[in-house]
Amino acid sequence: MRLLAVGLAAVSCLAAGCRQDMQNQPKFVPQRGTTFFADGRSVRPQAVHTVARGQLDEDSFFYTGLMAGKEVDMLPFPVSMQVLARGQERFNIYCTPCHSRVGNGAGMIVQRGYKPAGNFHAERILREPLSHYFNVMTNGYGAMPDYSAQLPPADRWAVAAYIRTLQLSQNAPEADVPSGVQIQNLKDVAEQQGYPESFAQPWSLPAATDISAEPPDASQGTPGNAPATGDTALPVTNKPNIPATGGKAVTPRGVK
């Protein structure tokens, strides 16, 4: 009986100790003080001269798109066909609902009444440096939210490069055409390849999302975008001539 009593007492003490450890686990709750450390803080400062995993942001231009606090017309890495292909893929997924596949701002949700999206072929946007597009995707602009969660920095730069490619496809001057390369009229190319006559016509924004001449609204970005009015369409012209290589015209896909 004495041996049994001693055994039960030992088991009781052991059980009580386990219950105490599991019920009241010693831990530090964020933003709460503690008497364990001399400075009274439960959250410990990062060790000096160390970098946490995933925080090695040495190239500030790559992550911010700014150089000395300003946007610049350059990319942080060389552009290749793989970069442009990646940019086109991401652009078609995330940007076309508003900007359309050709970047004229007449995407599907704009046609259904959303605020007008930026037209990448408009004179003002054509003048923007490359890192401006990266900055807009990172921080948002006007009615456009940021896409930093959907697009990591490398993809944002790839999309910016592809946007410039879309712009060059419609605004390349004849001086950019290499010597000896034939230039054909887009209307002639459309006729030869069986496209409808409207293929080579100027673009126009949907009438339901016309931008009215109202002063800029700081909350909506610049220029100010008015609500849908349903009045007249806003024409957006494109270049009639495009270069051809090897006798075959280089036509921008999806132009309407």
Query: Could you tell me if residue 161 is inside a domain?
Result: yes
Rounded CA separation 255/252 (Å): 6
Answer yes or no: is pLDDT of 18 > 50.
yes
Query: Could you tell me if residue 113 is inside a domain?
Result: yes
Q: Percent helix, strand and coil across the chain, each rounded to 5?
A: 40, 10, 50
Rounded CA separation 247/192 (Å): 13
Chain segment 218-251, per-residue pLDDT in tens: 554 443 343 333 333 334 334 333 333 333 333 3
Query: Could you tell me if residue 12 is inside a domain?
Result: no
Chain segment 53-74, per-residue pLDDT in tens: 777 767 789 999 999 889 999 9
Tell me, what CATH number does 151's domain have? 1.10.760.10
Query: Could you tell me if residue 5 is inside a domain?
Result: no
Query: Could you tell me if residue 159 is inside a domain?
Result: yes
Chain segment 105-147, per-residue pLDDT in tens: 989 988 888 888 889 988 889 999 999 999 999 999 988 999 9
Query: Could you tell me if residue 157 is inside a domain?
Result: yes
- What's the number of domains the chain is made of? 1
Query: Could you tell me if residue 39 is inside a domain?
Result: no
Rounded CA separation 42/22 (Å): 20
* Domain hosting residue 201, numbered range: 60-213+223-249
Query: Could you tell me if residue 182 is inside a domain?
Result: yes
